[in-house]
Amino acid sequence: MTLYILANPQAGFATARTIIKAIHEHYPDIPLEIHLTEKKDQEAILVERILKTFDSNIDQLLILGGDGTLSKTLDYWPAQLPFAYYPTGSGNDFAHALSIQDLDKVMTAIQVKRSQKMFVMQTNNGTILNSLDIGFAAKVIASPEQSSVKGFLKKLGLGKLTYLFFALKHLGHVSEEELEITLDETTYQWQSSFFLSIAKNKYFGGGITIWPDTSFQKPIIDLVYIPRKHFWSHLRGLLDLVLKHHKRSKVVKHLETHKVRIHSSKPFSYQYDGEVSQANDLTLYCQERYIYY
């Protein structure tokens, strides 16, 4: 068996190299083949390189990085092949949801080939692990990646305040997109919602709960939204999210579906797993995957 490691050494607090060193030291009998990203969006090249020599009968893949590294890798990793993951990012919402925090547990699962079925969201633009966000949520989650504030707060040991900072900054933002959203067979005309999150993970933004029942174990997609009204209604909805008052909130709304289609006559902006993109038409559905866990 060879353990292939695809790692982003720049993710989060740049601990990937330390994790690789620990695996070398504590599991000396496991042959390792290391592939490190050297620049942004290099996951496709590395996956292609790995698959040239990867023997699916005996070899395993371990991914080290944040949610973005993981989702980009799964864009190109064959869905039928299991993978392992250990978080080295800053938010790590995927790992939080699955309680992945023990490297030895991950390594044991790899060695005994203990895999579990899970579901991620797949789109015509790639894999989404956590959520696709439009409006306020997209602004808050995407802004740290485009600002020096994230690095500054991290140096001060205040990294967890990053999303709170940008939430306050963008509290007055309202999405102006007019969307046609189809959930399974029901179509809604969606206009200017304050908050809209299409989620497969119960967490986003470094640990804030989107919806408490969202699970990777179910082929269900949750749509959580706060309608556009006024400032105090928006603030009340956000407080309900932070304080986990989702189900008794009069402001936070929730719908369940198996498939989502978002259509617009002009490109709309959205955020997914820390990345920002645009589209006119997106279809999201659940895809079956297997994780060593």
pLDDT of 115: 96
Predicted confidence band of residue 151 (pLDDT cuts 50, 70, 90): low
For the stretch 42-68, pLDDT in tens is 999 999 999 999 999 999 999 999 998
**Residue recorded with tokens 């790590």:** 92
For the stretch 157-198, pLDDT in tens is 545 556 566 666 666 655 567 899 999 999 999 876 788 999
For the stretch 210-251, pLDDT in tens is 999 999 999 999 999 998 888 888 889 988 988 999 999 999
Specify whether domain 126-288 bears CATH 2.60.200.40: yes
Its pTM stands at 0.87
d(C-alpha 287, C-alpha 290), whole Å: 10
What residue spans in the chain does CATH classification 3.40.50.10330 cover? 3-113
CATH topology of domain 3-113: Rossmann fold (3.40.50)
Return mean pLDDT, the chain: 88
What residue spans in the chain does CATH classification 2.60.200.40 cover? 126-288
Residue 129's SS3 state is coil
What the block records as the tokens of 249 is: 């909130």
Question: E strand or H helix at 191, and its extent?
Answer: strand 186-191
Question: E strand or H helix at 133, and its extent?
Answer: strand 131-135
